[in-house]
């Protein structure tokens, strides 16, 4: 898989996760006692970042052996490029 394909898949994952942000925040607010979460937006932010980082690693693992350190840096950089968009959707809605 080339870098452009990886970037596309990670960005599609982020876009899908971003669409579910309002539902996640509402669910966490409704279940605060269960989740024990002080700030639902911060929790969802961590979930979205985790999803994006995880899917990138999973995709590369399915293509070959475990991602190398270089692969992990590529994934991280792609996710980090999208942090402003993710934060905007979570904290400004």
Q: What are phi and psi of 64, to 5 degrees?
A: -155, -160
Instruction: Give the pLDDT of residue 93.
Output: 66
CB 88 within 8 A of CB 41: no
pLDDT tens-place string over residues 60-71: 888 777 778 888
pLDDT tens-place string over residues 38-81: 899 999 999 999 999 998 888 888 877 777 888 889 999 999 99
For every residue of 59-77, which 3-state class applies, written as one string? HHHHHCCCCCHHHHHHHHH
Instruction: Give the pLDDT of residue 56.
Output: 85
Q: Where are the domains of the chain?
A: 3-91
Dig out the tokens for 35 from the structure: 């989740």
CB 53 within 8 A of CB 84: no
pTM for the structure as a whole: 0.82
């Amino acid at each position: 898989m080339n870098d452009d394909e990886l970037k596309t898949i990670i960005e599609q994952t982020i876009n899908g996760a971003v669409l579910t942000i309002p539902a996640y925040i509402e669910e966490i607010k409704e279940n605060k006692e269960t989740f024990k979460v002080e700030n639902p937006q911060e929790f969802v932010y961590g979930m979205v970042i985790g999803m994006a980082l995880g899917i990138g690693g999973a995709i590369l693992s399915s293509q070959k052996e475990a991602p190398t350190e270089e692969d992990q840096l590529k994934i991280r950089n792609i996710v980090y490029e999208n942090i402003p968009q993710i934060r905007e959707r979570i904290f400004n809605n």
